[in-house]
Structure 1
Amino acid sequence: MTDRSPYSARLDRIPVSRRSVRTGSSLTSYWEYGSSGEKPTIVMVHGFRGDHHGLEPVVAHLEGFHILSPDLPGFGESEPLAGTHDIDGYAAWLNEFVSAVDLPNPPVILGHSFGSIVVSGALARTGLRARRVILVNPIAAPALAGPRGILTRLAVFYYLMGARLPEPLGFALLRNRAIVRVMSVTMAKTKDRELRRWIHDQHDLYFSAFGTRAVVLEAFKASVGNDVSEFAADIVDRTLLIAADQDDITPIAAQHLLVRRFPDATLEILPGVGHLIHYEVPEQAAELIRRFLAEDPE
């Protein structure tokens, strides 16, 4: 196993500092890349069961930007929320986080996968404002509906078992490396053997960094019980959707339907990649982000 990223040479050129801030009654750990300057600040929200490391390949290709990347409450190094880890809880947390870091102007807000739901919920329900919005691999449709619904129900059973078994057995099930590897193999689409090996290592290293069984079960229920489409009509900020044509989580047809729900949104589709845009083609995602933000008249 190796934590050495294929993108390390680029990431090493970007100054990074670990920081923490109090959001409500819990402490949020976040990583600051670069420094504020002419380019806008980007706040990044990672996906389910991951932490800030997952978005570092994208950060590596955004040299010159000021980026704040927190660990979601209950994951990585951030403390759990005092209340329930549902979308309302996470949305309120994101609004509090942006307020707590005290930026001079509204930031660009980016969410990946489950993070796309958190970001959308915060923008639609808490009054959070963004300079622009970027959703990577957005969850465009209900996970319990459609042809993949049965797989989602199996996952629901898995997480329920992990929560109900005696604590040592429950943690062992939820952190079972064989199950994590099956998930990783399913989502990775790249033919590059070295890149696939690194992706699997990343999931082994960071996919089980959750605080408690209750946290991961509540967050999972939030991830399958909500999707971006229920919030899209209320998001007034200019939005970029970056989707993939081989995404096993959300079919591309749902992305085309989703983009029409936003008042002002653009959909970009990356070919030959699935739900791991941030790992497999971060340079392409970063280029789309750069072009999108270059259109900003401010």
Structure 2
Amino acid sequence: MTVASPYARELARMPVTTRVETLAGSDTHLWEYGASGLDEAAREAATTAVVVVHGFRGDHHGLEPVIAQLDEPGMRIVAPDLPGFGASTPLAVTHDIDGYATWAKALVASVRAQSPAARIVVIGHSFGSIVVSAALAGEGDGGALEADDIVLINPIAAPALAGPRGFMTRLAIGYYRFSAAVPEKLGFAILRSGLVVQIMSSTMAKTKDKGLRRWIHDQHHRYFSAFANRSVVLDAFRASVSHDVSEYAARIHAPVLMIAADRDDITPVAAQYSVQKTIPGAELVIIEGVGHLIHYERPVEAADAIRSYLARS
């Protein structure tokens, strides 16, 4: 039984269109939110274009609670499924940081071409924060990603093994290694295990609201295992634990807003401040009482921080 979204009313007010673009070899499925994405003329007239890059193993649904709070006149919001996840087909190359950075640059370039007068804002959550940062630093093909403003939500600001729950990361590495070692069919089934998804969801959720926790678990069970094949998810996992934003911070020159959490099990707050100091002019907002699921538990505060930043930037 599907659990109703606490943000369904806001989402229902937003027009949504879907389309497919071939980017870096991936037939990338895109969801566009707001009246400025309805057709070619509306896209061309958009004053702000927001590109949203979700985290590891998720799809575009994950950031919908934040998207639902951002609808404004003239704003075009583009939310793709990462290549190999959700409805998008895999990349033509390995699903490593270079591959995803190349794809991100192609995506943003496409959005810019369709909305030539728009302010380009790129939002990356969790693994998406690594992808966006790598693209900004010029990793992958095609130079550096060009955008007017960057927002990183729950940025992975330090190596995952150095996080508050490095032991949990080591367990995850063992889990993925075992899934890679067994025969393909068994490995695929292990990767999609509902028990593992439930453990992950229960560990990351910090809210004591039972209804909200139930919805978060439902979201993870519905969307966390939508990946094309075993190779994609294993390659993406290696990329997610082998890189972090701090690796690219000194080469990021776009204006950046970081939205972090004081109870994040993956990145300690001290590492967030360290990365903020490394990125010239970066701003950091810490949301208290939440962990790695700001997009589910505190999307209103995240959206408020984004709107305030864009108004000042």
Range class of TM-score, shorter chain: over 0.9
1:151 aligned residue (137, 143, 168): 168
Q: Tell me the CA shift for residue 40 of structure 1.
A: 1.2
Aligned-residue CA RMSD (Å): 1.3
- Write the letter of the residue equivalent to 2:50: I
Aligned to 2:4: 4
Task: Verify the 8 A CA contact 1:278 1:285 in the aligned structure 2.
Answer: yes
Q: Tell me the CA shift for residue 131 of structure 1.
A: 0.9
The count of aligned residue pairs is 296
Query: What secondary structure is seen at the aligned counterpart in 2 of 1:272?
Result: coil
Aligned to 2:56: 48
- Write the letter of the residue equivalent to 2:128: G
- Write the letter of the residue equivalent to 1:184: S
Quick check: 1:99 aligned with 2:109? yes
Q: Tell me the CA shift for residue 166 of structure 1.
A: 1.6
- Write the letter of the residue equivalent to 1:44: V
Quick check: 1:109 aligned with 2:117? no
Task: Verify the 8 A CA contact 2:164 2:265 in the aligned structure 1.
Answer: no
1:79 aligned residue (72, 83, 89): 89
TM alignment of 1:202-221, pairs within 5 A: 202-221=219-238
1:181 aligned residue (183, 190, 198): 198
Structure 1 residues 150-194: Cα deviation after superposition (integer angstroms, max 9, x where no partner): 322221121121122122211111011111101101100111110
Aligned to 1:283: 300
Aligned to 1:240: 257
Structure 1 residues 219-257: Cα deviation after superposition (integer angstroms, max 9, x where no partner): 000000000001111111110000001111111111111
Q: Report the CA distance shift for 1:196/1:106 in structure 2 as closer, same or farther (over 3 A).
A: same
Q: Report the CA distance shift for 1:146/1:61 in structure 2 as closer, same or farther (over 3 A).
A: closer
Q: Report the CA distance shift for 1:146/1:243 in structure 2 as closer, same or farther (over 3 A).
A: closer
Percent identical among aligned pairs is: 59
98-107 or 64-73, which deviates more:
98-107
TM-score, L = length of structure 2: 0.91
Task: Verify the 8 A CA contact 2:15 2:33 in the aligned structure 1.
Answer: yes
Q: For 1:149 and 1:283, locate their aligned partners in 2 and report how far apart those are by CA, in whole Å.
A: 29
Aligned to 1:118: 131
TM-score, L = length of structure 1: 0.96
Runs (5+) with no aligned partner, structure 2 = 37-42
Q: Tell me the CA shift for residue 106 of structure 1.
A: 5.4
